[in-house]
Structures are given as structure tokens and as C-alpha cells.
Amino acid sequence: MNDLRGVPSGSTSPLAREKHERALWHLVSFYGDPMAAFDATIAADPGWGLARVIKAVFILTLTEPNMLPQARELLAEADPLMGGAPVHEQGHFAAAQAALDGRWREACARWDALLLDHPRDLLALTAAHLFDFYRGDARNLRARVARVLPEWPSGDPLQPYVQGMHAFGLEECNLYSQAEAAGREALTRDPRGPWAIHAVAHVMEMQGRHEEGVRWLESGSAGWTDNGLAVHLWWHLALFRLETLDTSAALALFDARISGSASVVNLQWLDGAALLWRLNLLGVDVGSRWQALATDWADPVAHAGHYAFNDVHALLALLGSGDMARAQTLLAASSAQAKADNAGMAREVGVPLMQGLMAHARGDADQACAVLYPLRSLAHHFGGSHAQRDLIDQTLLAAAARSSHKAAGRALLNERRLAKPNTPLTEHWASRLGA
């Protein structure tokens, strides 16, 4: 038995395969409740191991350490069901097990092997794409999708989502005109596709087209209801507002769209922390918002070491709330508890970056500059996007303005001005640096 895209299926139940197709849409579109869709697939064919594997993979892509026991239980339930499964589905089980164990690079290699034989395997593609992002593998963020995209006919209703993924990979490889064209083309077939909307917003961010970016995101925001990427898109809108130093608008977006019940997982809390930190660098008093965010965050010390990128942003929340003691504990735990692939990310980038951020928070601008400047060339190794990692440059500019390292700050400004037009935000840092 094969699914609608010719991928081998271990289920003989038409209802289960129908529910699985719906679950794939939830997985790639971020709309609705994917967990309910996965449960419906399991209920339709309780003996189908892949139905549990896909739910476990979705949980793993959230990078939520407190949800790892649930993913582990699902894979344990799937294990005895995999013996009679197609070899392809056994490959999915092995990839999911690697991801659960923190061997993200191996998981991506296993998913890639599945895509060579079945390039329209959306589960393999989506999972590998997300873990490429978390691992800072910009090349495969583009190339992995490029290797399969020509195999997807334009009539497939999920093809626009795949093209939106390709657009984001192109943007992260600095191929901005190609990325924007791919994103806009994808949206002609599905105007609600969040990957494509997101990719075009990134292009506008990197090219300094902040006013156009505001119009771009506001024009489509009505369609973000019930979408898991919505908080991140609102965060991008706040960044466009910050380029004009409209800190009031950015803070209003935090209150209305990013904070509180809008954010329920690390991937959303980190957007809130990143926005408040940028506002803090500009001297904006955010009141008790730091304390509320630090309280909302799942215990970062207990869960440290799962993913360095998340640990860094949890640290921002603790620093912003003034809890230096707990921040120091998190720093130590992030290093000591890191395992598998994340151990390298934490050692190379995560822990030094946390040390630099702590130096800035305690007012040691010289030390912050000394630590942060050399990290710029390594920062992509712990994931995130160009826009997210710009937090390092923003912090470095603020530290340089208060330190003896003003030459480093001016060098960053030169780089920034050649990359995109001057904005009020860039001129703010130029003024602070006497450039």
C-alpha cells in the first residue's frame, strides 16, 4: 500500500490513510491542532506504527525537553509494531529514535536517505528541514528541499508549503531575490502558507525594507488565526517597527500578540525574550514584563542542555528579570547537562554566548565585547536564522558604545550599512558610537 504520493504505507485502512494525509497538512502548515490529527490517525488504525512515530516526531520538532517522555513513550509503543512495517517506515522509526536521543545530525541523514527513494515523503522532508534549522545547516535548509521540489507536481495541494520551505532555505543562503520570487509564487497557490510569508518577511528584514515589511505582514495577518507560526510572524512585525525606533508599537505587539497565553512553548517564549532584550538595549523600560516572561518559561535550569539556542533565550529572561543567581545556575547546567549533538553546540557557541550576555547584563562592556565579537563567525552553528542571531550584533553594538571597543562597533556599522540601507535604528547606534 502507498499513500497519495507513492510513499509506502503500513496501513491497509483507508480511513487511517485519510487521517494521516490530514495530519501531514497540520504538520507542514502549522494550522489547527496537529495532536488531535495524530490521535485520530492512531485511533483509525491502532496497529499502524507510523501513526505513533509521526506524533513523536512532531513533539521532537518542538524542542520541548519536558515533552521528551511523551515522545519516548510513543516510540516505545511503536517499537513492537515496526517488525512487519515497510522498510521505509522502519527508517522513519530509526530517524525518530536518533532525534529523541539528541543525535540530530544522524536523524537528518536518515530522513535524507528516505527522501532519495521517495522525494515526496513529507514527514521526512518537514522533520529534516526543521532539524536543519535547529542545527544551523543553512546549506541543507535550501539544498535538501531543492533535491525533492522538482518531483512535486504543482497540482499537489501541499506543494506550495514545500516551495515556501525552499524559499526560506534560499533566504538563509543569502539568495534573496530567488527566495522572494519562490515565496511569492508559492502564495499564488495558497495565500495562507506561513513558510512562504515568513521567507519573504526575512528577505525584507535582511534588505532593510522595513516599511514594506510592515505592509507585507499586516496585509496577511488576518489569516494567521490558529497558526503555530503566528507568534513568530508578529515578532517579525515588531522587528520592522524597531527599525524605525517605534518602540511603543513593538511593545504593544509584545503585549497583544506575543506574551501571556499566546506563547506556550520554548519556540514562542524565545521570541518574547529576544524582543524584550532588543528593547532593553535601546533603553526602553519594559516594566514587569521580564518577570512575567521568566515565570511563564518552563523551568529552564531543570531542562537545560537539550538545545543551546533555547538555553540562551531562557538566560535572557532571567537576566532581564534581574535573577543573576539563577542565570549563573542555568549557564552551568547548560554546559554540564548537554548531550549528543547539543553538547557541541553548547560548547562552541551556547555557553560562550551566555557568558558574553551575562557580562553585558552586569555592566562589563569590555568583557562582553571581547567574548561576543569572535562568536559572530560561529553563531550559525547553534541554529536560528540571520534575523534571530542579529541579537548578538545588537548586543555587541550596545556594549561597544559603552566600552573601549568602539572600533568593533563601528566595524559592525560599516558591515550593516553595506548590507542594507540606513535605518533609524542603525543611525541610533552610529550616534552612540560616534560614527
pLDDT at 256 over 90: yes
Band of pLDDT at residue 73, cut at 50, 70 and 90: very high
Read off the pLDDT of each residue in 154-164 and give the average, rounded to a whole number: 96
Cell of 327: 542565570
Read off the pLDDT of each residue in 263-288 and give the average, rounded to a whole number: 96
Band of pLDDT at residue 296, cut at 50, 70 and 90: confident
CA–CA gap between residue 355 and residue 351 (Å, rounded): 6
Query: Which pLDDT score is estimated for 207?
Result: 95
Q: What is the pLDDT of residues 77-89, one digit of tens each?
A: 999 999 999 999 9
pLDDT at 11 over 90: yes
% of the chain at pLDDT higher than 90 = 96
For residues 154-176, one letter each, b for 16 or more C-beta atoms within 10 angstroms of the residue's C-beta and e for the rest, the string is eebebbbbbbbbbbbbbbbeebb
Kindly list the domain boundaries of the chain, sorted by start residue. Answer: 14-167+258-433
CA–CA gap between residue 148 and residue 116 (Å, rounded): 8
pLDDT at 242 over 80: yes
Band of pLDDT at residue 131, cut at 50, 70 and 90: very high
Read off the pLDDT of each residue in 395-409 and give the average, rounded to a whole number: 96
Residues 6+ positions from 197 with CB-CB distance below 8 Å: 164, 183, 187, 216, 217, 220, 233
Q: Taking all residues of the chain, what is their mean pLDDT, rounded to a whole number?
A: 96
Band of pLDDT at residue 339, cut at 50, 70 and 90: very high
Band of pLDDT at residue 383, cut at 50, 70 and 90: very high
For residues 270-295, one letter each, b for 16 or more C-beta atoms within 10 angstroms of the residue's C-beta and e for the rest, the string is bbbbbbbbbbbbbebebeebbebbbe
Read off the pLDDT of each residue in 339-346 and give the average, rounded to a whole number: 96
pLDDT at 435 over 80: no
Residue 328 burial (10 A CB sphere; 0-12, 13-18, 19+): middle
Residue 152 burial (10 A CB sphere; 0-12, 13-18, 19+): buried
Query: Which pLDDT score is estimated for 297?
Result: 83
- Residue tagged 495532536 (cell numbers): 35
Whether residue 357 contacts residue 395, with contact meaning beta carbons closer than 8 Å, is answered with yes
pLDDT at 417 over 80: yes
What residues does 382 pair with on adjacent strands?
Answer: none
Query: Which pLDDT score is estimated for 41?
Result: 98
pLDDT at 221 over 80: yes
CA–CA gap between residue 111 and residue 128 (Å, rounded): 6
pTM of full prediction above 0.85 = yes
Whether residue 31 contacts residue 227, with contact meaning beta carbons closer than 8 Å, is answered with yes
Query: Which pLDDT score is estimated for 192?
Result: 92
Q: What is the DSSP string of 114-175?
A: HHHH-TT-HHHHHHHHHHHHHTT-HHHHHHHHHHHGGGS-TTSTTHHHHHHHHHHHHHHTT-
pLDDT at 299 over 90: no
Residues 6+ positions from 200 with CB-CB distance below 8 Å: 167, 179, 180, 183, 184, 187, 216
Residue 117 burial (10 A CB sphere; 0-12, 13-18, 19+): middle
3-state class of 212 per DSSP?
Answer: helix
Phi-psi region of 384 (alpha: psi -120 to 50; beta: other; left: phi over 0): left
Q: What is the pLDDT of residues 162-214, one digit of tens each?
A: 999 999 999 999 999 999 999 999 999 999 999 999 999 999 999 999 999 99
Between the two ends of the chain, the Cα-to-Cα distance in Å is 66
Sign of torsion over alpha carbons 113, 111, 385, 172: positive
pLDDT at 298 over 80: no
pLDDT at 225 over 90: no
CA–CA gap between residue 435 and residue 198 (Å, rounded): 33
> Whose CA is closest to 229, among 201, 207, 189?
201
